[in-house]
């Protein structure tokens, strides 16, 4: 049983509060990704789950057992580190078996576990080599193998792809997704890269400044971000944020135009529109007036940079062969259902209407 529960975990280093009451419920076999900018406390949270660092308050339960006061080796976890952290003086085989030997596992069982890991990760050719004689991708596979042989209830990954180059990163990412499917094990995966988070996760936890911003499936986070931070962090290129004023069902964006919006919004707001939420029309139409200042061609698609009348620059998704010219005046029209409104001060999402307000908030904001 690989259920993981965190109850009111917080952490302070001296006077600095690095984590602020984190509650989490991870189902058996779930792939959870913790994502957030550098320094937001992701690694600290993972180390607390692993038992490598003590929480200031709160409890960690793994498989229904309170492991808060257990050492890492007794928690039923295995961890894969960013820097691989292979034992430099041992061969790959030694690296795989050290933990099991330490736990006085029977030799036959060790051999069985190693054979399984070797088969899953195709490590056979490297068994007798030392970590120094392996490439980055191979080292990370060995590190994952070292986690597999422990048969943990929960796998913990701390930015396992950060030290790999781009091509290898995609490959190992696919291997990790594949591994999760095969083993069906619970995994908690930390990254600062939202693409990794979106592609791997069953559920994502977005963190910022030690505070959980939102927990939800990738599509929940993309479609209904709980606040301005999540809105800009999830999705690539990021959501366009334009300041404006709302009232009586009309949103006025400073100097560039008016849009219909939910009646619930009132006063100073931030309007969030994803690049694909706009339709580009020739200048002079009804919508937001602006000027094309750049175009990025990506082959299958392209992105326009458009400066609105008030100077805000927004990114707009377009066909690859759109034909708009630099300095050409255009009008941006909002596609229906693509406007996110956030309170200008608190950054919290403003509910769209009666039906939206009736839904239980997917968002939890501390």
Partner 1 sequence: MTQGIARRFQISTLAAHLVLIGFTLLALAPTLLVIMNSFKPRKEIFGAPLALPSFETITLIGYDTVLKRGDILHYFQNSLIVTVCALFFIILFGAMAAFALSEYRFPGNRLIGLFLVMGIMVPIRLGTVGILKLMVSLGLANTLFALILVYTAQGLPMAVFVMSEFMRQVSDDLKNAARVDGLSEYTILFRLVLPVVRPAIATIAVFTMVPIWNDLWFPLVLAPGESTRTMTLGAQSFIGQFITDWNAVLAALTLAIVPMLILYLMFSRQLIRGITAGAVK
Q: Are 277 and 288 in contact (CB under 8 A)?
A: no
Burial class of residue 38 in the structure, from the number of CB atoms within 10 Å of its CB (0-12 exposed, 13-18 middle, 19+ buried): exposed
Contacts of 321 (CB under 8 A, 6+ apart): none
Judged by CB under 8 A, the residue of 57, 69, 83, 338 near partner 1 is 83
Q: CB–CB of 252/270 below 8 Å?
A: no
Does the protein bind ligand ADP through residue 15 (CB under 6 A)?
A: no
Rank residues 77 and 265 by Cβ distance to partner 1 and give the closer one.
77
CB of 41 vs Mg ion, minimal distance in Å: 9
**Residues between 255 and 294 that touch ligand ADP (CB under 6 A):** none
> Could you tell me the smallest distance in angstroms from the CB atom of residue 161 to partner 1?
15
The DSSP 8-state label assigned to residue 143 in this structure reads H
Nearest approach, Cβ of residue 13 and ligand ADP (Å): 3
Residue nearest to ligand ADP (CB): 43
Q: Choose one: 1-9, 38-46, 113-121, 219-227; the region binding ligand ADP (CB under 6 A).
A: 38-46
Strand 31-35 vs strand 203-208: parallel, antiparallel, or unpaired?
parallel
CA pair distance 148, 115, nearest whole angstrom: 11
Is there binding between residue 311 and partner 1 (CB under 8 A)?
Answer: no
Q: Is 241 an interacting residue with respect to ligand ADP (CB under 6 A)?
A: no
Taking the complex as a whole, the smallest distance from the CB of residue 150 to partner 1 amounts, in Å, to 8
Residue 18 interaction partner, one of Mg ion, partner 1, ligand ADP, none, beta carbon < 5-8 Å per kind: ligand ADP
Q: Figure out which of the listed residues 8, 13, 54, 247 binds ligand ADP, where binding follows CB under 6 A.
A: 13
Q: Return the structure tokens found at 51.
A: 């038992």
How far is Cα 149 from Cα 32, in angstroms, rounded to an integer? 21
Query: By beta-carbon distance, which residue lies closest to Mg ion?
Result: 43
Provide the CA 233 distance to its chain's centre, in angstroms: 9
Tell me the per-residue interface mask from 194 to 233 with partner 1, x by CB under 8 A, - otherwise. ----------------------------------------
Site size for partner 1 (CB under 8 A): 25
Q: Is 87 in the site for ligand ADP (CB under 6 A)?
A: no
Q: Which of residues 35 and 261 has its CB atom nearest to ligand ADP in the complex? A: 35
Rounded Cα distance between 214 and 200, Å, is 17
Q: Is 194 in the site for Mg ion (CB under 5 A)?
A: no
Is there a cis peptide before residue 237, judged by omega within 30 degrees of 0?
A: yes
Using the minimum distance from each CB to ligand ADP, give the nearer residue, 91 or 162: 162
Pick one of 41, 160, 216, 290: the residue that binds ligand ADP (CB under 6 A): 41
Please identify, among the stretches 22-30, 32-40, 240-248, 311-319, the one whose residues bind ligand ADP according to the rule CB under 6 A.
32-40
SS3 197: helix
CA atoms within 13 A on the CB side of 130: 5
User: 307 with 266: CB under 8 angstroms?
Assistant: no
Question: Is 347 one of the binding residues for ligand ADP (CB under 6 A)?
Answer: no
- Give DSSP secondary structure letters for 22-82: EEEEE-TT-EEEEE-STTSSHHHHHHHHHTSS--SEEEEEETTEE-TTS-GGGTTEEEE-T
d(C-alpha 74, C-alpha 66), whole Å: 11
Q: Which residue has the tokens 């619970």?
A: 186
Please report, as residue ranges, which positions from 98 to 117 form the binding site for partner 1 (by CB under 8 A).
98-99, 102-103
Give the nearer residue to Mg ion in terms of CB position, either 40 or 339: 40
**Alpha-carbon span 191 to 181, nearest angstrom:** 20
Q: Which residue has the tokens 């808060």?
A: 68
Pattern 13-52, Mg ion, x by CB under 5 A: ------------------------------x---------
Residue 39 tokens, joined: 């320094």
252, 322 contact by CB (below 8 A): no
> Which residues would be at the binding site for partner 1 (CB under 8 A)?
47, 50, 52, 71-74, 77-79, 81-89, 98-99, 102-103, 132, 146
Interface residue list for ligand ADP (CB under 6 A): 13, 18, 36, 38-44
């Amino acid at each position: 049983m690989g259920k993981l529960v965190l109850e009111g975990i917080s952490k302070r280093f001296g006077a600095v509060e690095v984590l602020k009451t984190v509650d989490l419920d991870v189902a058996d076999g779930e792939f959870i990704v913790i994502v957030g900018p550098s320094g937001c406390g992701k690694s600290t949270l993972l180390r607390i789950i692993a038992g490598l660092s003590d929480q200031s308050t709160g409890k960690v339960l793994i498989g229904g057992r309170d492991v808060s006061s257990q050492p890492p080796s007794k928690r039923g976890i295995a961890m894969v580190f960013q820097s691989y952290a292979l034992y430099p003086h041992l061969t790959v085989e030694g690296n795989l078996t050290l933990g099991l030997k330490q736990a006085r596992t029977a030799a036959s069982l060790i051999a069985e576990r190693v054979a399984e890991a070797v088969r899953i990760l195709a490590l056979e050719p490297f068994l007798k080599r030392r970590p120094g004689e392996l490439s980055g991708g191979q080292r990370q596979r060995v590190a994952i193998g070292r986690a597999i042989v422990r048969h943990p209830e929960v796998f913990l990954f701390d930015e396992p792809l950060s030290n790999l180059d781009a091509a290898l990163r995609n490959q190992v990412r696919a291997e990790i997704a594949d591994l999760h499917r095969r083993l069906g094990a619970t995994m908690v995966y930390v990254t600062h890269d939202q693409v990794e988070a979106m592609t791997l996760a069953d559920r994502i936890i977005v963190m910022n400044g030690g505070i959980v911003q939102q927990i939800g499936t990738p599509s929940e986070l993309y479609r209904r971000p709980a606040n301005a931070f999540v809105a800009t962090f999830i999705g690539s290129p990021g959501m366009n944020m334009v300041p404006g004023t709302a009232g009586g069902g009309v949103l006025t964006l400073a100097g560039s135009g008016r849009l219909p919006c939910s009646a619930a919004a009132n006063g100073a707001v931030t309007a969030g529109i994803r690049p694909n939420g706009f339709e580009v029309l020739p200048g002079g139409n009804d919508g937001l007036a602006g000027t094309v200042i750049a175009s990025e061609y990506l082959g299958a698609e392209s992105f326009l940079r458009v400066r609105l009348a008030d100077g805000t620059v927004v990114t707009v998704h377009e066909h690859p062969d759109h034909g708009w010219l630099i300095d050409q005046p255009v009008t941006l029209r909002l596609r229906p259902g693509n406007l996110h409104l956030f309170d200008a001060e608190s950054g919290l999402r403003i509910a769209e209407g009666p039906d939206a307000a009736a839904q239980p908030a997917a968002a939890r904001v501390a």
